[in-house]
Amino acid sequence: MRLLVLMTTVLLLTGCPRGEPPAIIDFETLGELRVATRVDTVAYRETPEGETGGFEHDLLVELGSELQIPVRFMVYQSTAQVLNAVRRGDAHMAAAGLGLNPHRKGILWSPPVRQMELVIAATEPLASEIKSAEDLAGHTITVRRNTLAAEQLKVFQADLPNLKVDRVSGRRDGQLLNDLADGKLTLLVTDSVHLSAAAVLRPELKAVITLPNHAEMAWAFPTNASPKLLDTVSRFIEQAHEDNLIERLEDRYFGHIERLSQVDIAAFVDRMQTRLPRFIPMFKDAAADTDTDWRLLAAIAYQESQWDPLAVSFTGVRGLMMLTDDTARRMGVRDRLDPAQSILGGAKYYALMRESIDEDVPEPDRSWMAVAAYNLGLGHLRGARQIANSLKRDNTAWVSMRAVLPLLSKPSFARRLKAGRARGGEAVIMTENVRAFYDILQRMDSPNAEEALPLPQIRMPLETPAPGGFLDQAFGTSTSRPPM
């Protein structure tokens, strides 16, 4: 028995040379690619329904499809835990919004996945006082420990001896940004995507200084990673850039973030608290009947009527979902001003748009095109997709269609349309606004501390937009659409 134990010990020691991290079983042999990650605006998120997503999550799912193997996401609380999981051999790689840092020990890096802009954020009145790096002297800057941002902040410390730096662990960017907005922190180093996402609901957050050093997001591997995996990931990232896959995912998760103004956000948040609660059961019932997220239906309704069940447009559309008389009849709506009927009719109409779009359009692009068709009509959307194809643009991607739809108002392109000229730019504005409203509603309803933001106490502007009209006043009437 002692001999068996001794032989086993020798085999283990010889199989794991001193100084080398333990090697995880090859992903092909294991039957899955294990990825260490953390809940984060960029990397990974979960919905109340248990679905997972995120920019890096979706990109890695595509990688798994290329490897013909499932991806298993192992969620940790901090960047340090994520990287230690890779070093220990618990995961094949790490993807957690990591800044490429060649000085980090025991880690190999993939080629850059996307560019990062690291910024120092503050709130008023301090934001107005900081004009240059010298103005940071005497203040305390908070930064997450063991991050690229913490490394780059050392440049400022070298030139500004009076600068105080507080390095924190185990806290996410979203949590720190909330603390900054609440006045618990003075200055914070983060990246522009996290800042923009937080500023949607905390508009007092401002970028005051951009860190000068080059920053890139990448994936981390142990030093003894499989050469086959490293080579496959390198080729995959290169191809993802060439095929615009990364651009599409960036648009999916970040493209709408800066669409709304502070006035729009203030009005939306106010009406979330005063108008929306009455209609939530109706949205949920309609969502169950049409297999649609109730929050998306609520976002469409807000864009259309600002949740005013008596809203009426000069074009004749009316009600919470702003249905035309013809569309209401087709959807079985007898009274367009009855909120329950309007919501169900609008949900059916949206579902019809979504189901009528060709099967080659994936989600969520399919949903965004359906929102555009809700405004524009299915015939104009189909015509726009044909134009996109003639221009050699990807007509299955919303990021491409967003650029093509405004062409429908130009005579040279309108002549190609059976349905005639259309205000495609308004459909784009509507869709982008719906995406932004939907994102806010999702984040309010999120199980993740990173995503679930508290309702801010936003004081309504002195010139509050009139109910049912502030988006129309800014961009032209968005509720007039031809019946199918």
pLDDT grade, residue 474 (50/70/90)? Answer: very low
Using one digit for the tens of pLDDT, what is the confidence trace for 348-369?
999 999 999 999 999 999 999 9
Which H, E and C letters describe 316-362, residue by residue? CCECCCCECHHHHHHCCCCCCCCHHHHHHHHHHHHHHHHHHCCCCCC
**Tokens matching residue 163:** 């600068």
Residues 6+ apart with CB under 8 A from 292: 286, 347, 350, 351, 354
Q: Is 304 annotated as catalytic?
A: yes
Region 232-245 average pLDDT: 94
Amino acid at the residue 428? V
What's the chain's average pLDDT? 83
Which helix (H) or strand (E) segment holds residue 34: the answer is strand 33-38
Q: Which of 65-69, 230-234, 441-445 has the highest mean pLDDT?
A: 230-234
- For 119-123, 184-188, 390-394, 406-410, which range has the lowest pLDDT when averaged over its residues? 406-410
| pLDDT tens-place string over residues 31-48 | 999 999 999 888 998 876
Q: Domain 262-475 belongs to what topology?
A: Lysozyme (1.10.530)
What proportion of the chain, given as a percentage, has pLDDT over 70? 86
The CA-CA-CA angle for residues 30, 32, 37, to 5°, reads: 120
Which member of 304, 426, 432, 450 is catalytic? 304
Q: Mapping DSSP to helix (H, G, I), strand (E, B) and coil, where does residue 293 land?
A: coil
Q: List the domain boundaries for the chain.
A: 21-113+218-254, 116-215, 262-475
Contacts of 129 (CB under 8 A, 6+ apart): 135
CATH number, domain 21-113+218-254, options 3.40.50.1000, 3.40.50.1580, 3.40.190.10, 2.40.180.10: 3.40.190.10
State the pLDDT at residue 256: 78
pLDDT at 17 over 50: no
Q: What is the dihedral of CA 232, 237, 238, 239, to 10 degrees?
A: 90
Task: Tell me what the mean pLDDT of segment 205-227 comes to.
Answer: 90
Handedness of CA 89, 95, 98, 100 (dihedral sign): positive
Question: Token pair for residue 223?
Answer: 């030093």
The answer to whether residues 483 and 375 touch, using CB atoms and an 8 Å cutoff, is no
Query: Can you give the C-alpha Rg of the chain in angstroms?
Result: 25
pLDDT surpasses 90 at 72: yes
Q: Which two tokens stand for residue 122?
A: 């503050």
Tell me the per-residue pLDDT of 403-459, one tens digit each, with 9 for 90 and over.
999 988 888 777 777 667 778 889 999 999 999 999 889 887 765 544 444 444 433
Same fold across 21-113+218-254 and 116-215: yes
Buried b (16+ CB within 10 A) or exposed e, 365-403: bbbbbbbbbbbbbbbbbbbbbebbeeeebbbbbbbbbbe
Residue 478 has pLDDT above 80, yes or no: no
Tell whether domain 116-215 is in CATH 3.40.190.10.
Answer: yes
How confident is residue 57, by pLDDT bands cut at 50, 70 and 90? very high
